Amino acid sequence: MEPISQTAPALPGRAILEQFWADLTFIHWRVDAALVAPLLPAGVVPDVFDGSSWVGLIPFRMASTAALGGPPVPYFGEFTEVNVRLYAVDVQGRRGVVFTSLEASRLAAVLGARAAFSIPYFWAAATFDRVGDELRYSSRRHSRKAPASRVVSRPSDVRVLDDPLADFLTARWRLFVRRGCRTLVIANRHPPWPLFVAELVSLHDELLTASGLPGISSRPPDSVLYSPGVLTQFSGPEVEPAEPTVLSA
């Protein structure tokens, strides 16, 4: 099993995409691994910490996006995003995340991510605002069912250090993506997260239910963290081996 570390391994190839993720609130709940398993692509199984798998709701600002070493893309590379993610491990023991949905306020980014990488982005009216010491995020999908999410968090100045759960939830160096009957692996790297304790002031969320996990967001979260952000790079996708192996974390 791959060790958990806030130090990113080298990318397996050239960085093709660079993004700055800013003002992130990491909201997490424990969840039974049996509920997570059917939502994962082929070749990966739930990753477990302290006897549980975990589901995250993470709203943030995409501050800039640049491709193939070029300059940041104005307007289209800056938007608010809200994602729902799960934690998985593959047959090689490599840890990563699986996004069940990603809400984004730029249609071009949604269409590009879906076409290039089959990442489950959805076009949404997503906003971010800072009011006093509160961070306020909202999102409503442009669709008939239109699931919405509203988050208000309050970061503290208490730094999170040497926290195994925080490392498990944030030190993730690849993304597993379902593409047809195959699973793609997209590697990423960034500096260690600057993490701080945060308070969840209020939450109304329908995205977890829309992702196949009803009832989770109606109970208090088990972890709330804040980060001012990191600069992240991604390499191109690789194909995951087809046959999964059940691994214990």
* Burial annotation 76-102 (CB, 10 A radius, 16+ → b, else e): ebbbbbbbbbbbbbbbeebbbbbbbbb
The pLDDT assigned to 249 comes to 45
The pLDDT assigned to 247 comes to 41
Across residues 36-49, what is the average pLDDT? 97
109 vs 30, 66, 116, CA distance in Å? Answer: 30, 12, 10
Number of C-beta neighbours around residue 230 at 10 A = 18
Q: What is the CA 143 to chain-centroid distance, rounded? A: 22
- All domains of the chain in start order, with CATH: 15-239 (2.40.400.10)
pLDDT > 90? residue 243: no
Instruction: Tell the residue number behind the tokens 């993490």, with chain if given.
Output: 195
Render pLDDT for 56-112 as a digit per residue (tens, 0 to 9).
999 999 987 777 677 666 655 789 999 999 999 999 999 999 999 999 999 988 998
The pLDDT assigned to 68 comes to 67
* Mean pLDDT for the chain overall: 92
By three-state DSSP, how is residue 228 classified? strand
Q: What angle do CA 51, 52, 55 make, to 5 degrees?
A: 165
More confident residue, 144 or 157: 157
pLDDT > 90? residue 53: yes
> Residues 89, 1: contact at Cβ < 8 Å?
yes
The pLDDT assigned to 143 comes to 84
pLDDT band at 248 (very low <50, low <70, confident <90, very high): very low
Lowest mean pLDDT among 17-26, 103-112, 161-170, 222-231: 103-112
pLDDT > 60? residue 126: yes
